[in-house]
Amino acid sequence: MSHFHLMVFALVLGVLSVGTAAAGSPKAIQEQGQAMVRDAEEMVAHGGMGDGKAIVHHCAEVAKQAQAILKALPPADEHGKEAAPHLQDAIKHCKRVAEMGDKVDPGASLNPAVKARTAAREAMKHLAAMKDDGA
């Protein structure tokens, strides 16, 4: 992936994650998590159809949402702490997808995309267990 594409990906993550950060309440975080999982599902579905541009687009969305959730997680929430490594994994795998770009064979980018989806799903299990009292 070219330096330009990496810069664009970083810019998109930086700008959009600020604009869509969850409010910090468990409900808001859970809604963001559900959106993240929906994008992850779309990403893999499009990947199965051979649409490399959609894989890259949806993976950028997954990474953006995962970063926003990480920023919004209450520090004392155990479920949030358990979700954090999975959110970081989703970001890591999506970074790999972005580095590969949309010009590679979609089968090549599908492997890290599937890993990102798995991480997003696992994070959502922990996020879904969050309660309003932070317990």
CATH number of the domain to which 30 belongs:
1.20.120.660
Per-chain mean pLDDT for the chain: 85
Ordered alpha helix ranges (H), the chain? 3-19, 26-48, 52-72, 78-100, 106-128
Residue 3 inside a domain? The answer is no
For the ranges 6-10, 46-50, 78-82, 87-91, the lowest mean pLDDT is seen at: 6-10
Residue 120 has pLDDT above 70, yes or no: yes
Mind listing the pLDDT tens digit for each residue in 66-84? 999 999 999 889 999 999 9
For the ranges 94-98, 103-107, 122-126, the lowest mean pLDDT is seen at: 103-107
95 CA to centre of own chain: 10
Residue 75 inside a domain? The answer is yes
The DSSP call for residue 23 is -
Q: In this predicted structure, what is the pLDDT of residue 106?
A: 87
Residue 11 inside a domain? The answer is no
What CA–CA distance (Å, rounded) separates 41 from 129? 21
Residue 76 inside a domain? The answer is yes
Question: What are 25's two structure tokens?
Answer: 């309440």
Q: How many domains does the chain have?
A: 1
Residue 6 inside a domain? The answer is no
Residues 6+ apart with CB under 8 A from 72: 21, 22, 23, 24, 28, 29, 32
Residue 1 has pLDDT above 90, yes or no: no
What CA–CA distance (Å, rounded) separates 123 from 37? 9
What is the pTM for the complete model shown? 0.80
Q: What is the mean pLDDT of residues 53-66?
A: 96
Domain extent, residue 104, equals 24-128
Residue 50 inside a domain? The answer is yes
